[in-house]
Structure 1
Amino acid sequence: MSTLGGGFTVGKAFPLYLEGTLGYSRYDPIFLASDGQITRPVPTKWNTLSVTGGVGWDFPITDDLVFRPIVNFSYGRVASDSSVASSYIELETGDDFEFLKSGNLDVYGLGGALMLDYELHKDEYEIDTELRYTNITLKSFSNAPESVQGSTVAQSLSLWMRWRAPTGFTALKKPVRYVIEAARTGYIGDMRGALGFDYLNSVGIGLELDSSHYDIIVTRTRLILRYQFGDNIEGTSLGFAISF
């Protein structure tokens, strides 16, 4: 699974907030086909593509804290490339797995989010914290089989924190910073348990280079290794980020 995304506020004089994410994943579940006597694993493969975007506005509460309502939209497609596997399952079990016959499912979403964003930047350290509630209604609209069509409300409540401070080393004529991250996302309503877990935690550590001394568009570059864990689930990811 890979994602590419970002978000920014245009400026304090015009606090328009924009965000967007492009994601791709290839999912390889295994179904068990049985005729009542013999059970065989049948591999299938699904590809997913998702695009999300958001437009918001920052309302300052203090110099370091803003309230940010956001209007969100999304589009997603799930496509199967397992026509051979579906034919085998039907032959062995008599069940009709129409969606697996190179089918696809398209989904759109409309909704919004409410965010509290706290940013405190000093020479000694920097703190970024975001508390966010998201509510997006998702609905299918393709000609996929009726068995996989429908709608749901995706809700989540997340808390994300980042600490950055100088390591004591310098590069590019600026301090090299270490970065520590922590996050927790809880899934609410229809999403609770839909993915097999109710919450997901994340911790990360990395380094950040500051290139703002030079006249280039990229001001900072970060590399962060993260570990995610929750109910019966765990994994790792590597994140690469730049600031402008």
Structure 2
Amino acid sequence: MKIVRLLCVLVCLFPLARGYAQSLLQNDELVRKRINAAASLLSFTVVPDVTTSNLSVASGNVNDDDVGMRLTQFGGGATLSSDFPMYAEGTMGYSRYDPRFIVTSGEEVRSVPFRWNAFSAAGGLGWDFPLREHLVLRPILNISLGTVASDVLIGRLILENRTGRELAFLDGGSMSFYGYGGSLMLDYEFFSDAYDMDVEARYSNIRLEPFQKDDRAVAGGASAEQLNLYFRTRIPTGMHLFERPVRVVLESAHTEFLDEQRGVLGFDYLTSFGLGMEIDTSKYDIWISRTRLVARYITGDNTTGYSLGLAVSF
């Protein structure tokens, strides 16, 4: 008789257990989706790119998929000399990702933000192979390091209604990544008293992998695969400052995001147009030779924006 009662209890509990397991799987998938997206943000800051150097994306709807993103990047690159044409580049980036989860505890339903900050540092070494005057082919080896960290401590009520394993990373946790890959650049540079011109075409493919891969909720990585086109010309205005000509700067850039990056932030490409001024201080014995201030208009798939960039030459 006891066995029959036990079987009846198990039969009654089976649908509840199955529903609970399905709920946990759905929660796992939601968390994994958000964390993979946070890790993907690192991929937008490890490749030098004018179009994403200062980018903000926001949604006006406060729901399960409401996301706020900010990306900032600075860095540069240069060839050491014509006699020793080694090329070196470096960038540092910061991105912030603010997804929201809809969680419930009994009759209470609340929208909880999980703020993730991503920091990255990337570098590359290459070599210039001259193809013709002013034109070089430049293969580059790239490495990078980055971390994604949560700055939100989740309340005990929420933690008790979720599995600690899946939310350990969200609850003030962090995850570090390393990156490896390469780029191939075609660079045309022309300098004269009348005007300067710089045209670049670059393909980059950098893979980001987590240092720790034992947690199924945060397993995986991200790839930065991009095709970048960049044009800049500097033309003297006729005015002089610091005994050097003041130049107007015209620039344009286009970035196609490939493979995993395509559509992650809601667009497949970004195009920017820039207008600015450049001041030359090379006559004086200071460590900055040129300073450029450029205003940019950025457009893409259902995306528009503005940015203001400051650049210096040494």
Distance in 1 (alpha carbons) for counterparts of 2:255 and 2:279: 28
Return the alpha-carbon distance in structure 2 between the equivalents of residues 233 and 107 of structure 1.
29
Structure 2 SS opposite 1:190: helix
Task: Give the paired residue count.
Answer: 243
The runs of at least 4 consecutive aligned structure 1 residues that moved more than 6 Å come to 35-38, 92-95
1:12 counterpart SS class: coil
Which string of whole-angstrom CA distances, capped at 9 and with x for unpartnered residues, describes residues 140-190 of structure 1?
113784222213432111101112111221111111111111111111122
Write the distance in 2 (CA, Å) between the matches of 1:199 and 1:17: 27
C-alpha displacement of 1:73: 0.4
The alignment yields a C-alpha RMSD, in angstroms, of: 2.3
Cα deviation for residue 74 of structure 1 reads 0.7
In structure 1, distance between residues paired with 2:209 and 2:300: 27
Is 2:233 the counterpart of 1:163? yes
For residues 90 and 232 of structure 1, what CA distance do their matches in structure 2 show? 37
Could you tell me whether the CA contact under 8 Å between 2:278 and 2:291 is conserved in 1?
Answer: yes
Distance 1:100 1:45, change over 3 A: same
User: Given that residues 115 and 152 in structure 2 are in contact (C-alpha distance below 8 angstroms), is that contact kept between their aligned partners in structure 1?
Assistant: yes
Residue identity opposite 2:97 in structure 1: Y
TM-score if structure 1 supplies the norm length?
Answer: 0.90
Equivalent residue in structure 1 for 2:148, among 67, 78, 81: 78
Shift of 1:204: 1.5
- Give, as a single letter, the amino acid of the residue that structure 2 aligns with 1:118: Y
Q: Identity over aligned residues, as a percent?
A: 49
Which residue is 1:52 aligned to? 122
> 1:28 deviation in Å?
2.9
CA distance in 1, matches of 2:167, 2:222: 22
Shift of 1:36: 9.6
The unaligned stretches of length 5 or more in structure 1 are none
3-state DSSP class of the match of 1:99?
coil
Alignment of 1:139-150 (within 5 A): 139-142=209-212, 145-150=215-220
Question: Which of the residues 217, 225, 239 maps onto 2:287?
Answer: 217
TM-score (structure 2 length as normaliser): 0.71
Q: How far is 1:101 from its partner?
A: 0.7
1:61 aligned counterpart, secondary structure:
strand
Structure 2 unmatched runs, 5+: 1-70
Paired position in structure 1 for 2:271: 201
230 and 90 in structure 1: CA distance in 2 versus 1, 3 angstrom threshold? farther
Question: Greater Rg, structure 1 or structure 2?
Answer: 2
Distance 1:120 1:36, change over 3 A: farther
Q: Tell me by how many angstroms 1:38 deviates.
A: 6.6
Mapped partners of 1:40, 1:190: distance in 2: 32
Q: 1:17 to 1:33 in 2, by over 3 A?
A: same
The yes-or-no answer on 1:41 pairing with 2:111 is: yes
Q: Is the 8 A contact 2:99 2:114 kept in 1?
A: yes
Q: Residue type matched to 1:33 in 2?
A: V
Query: Secondary structure of 1:215's match?
Result: coil
Higher helix content, 1 or 2: 2
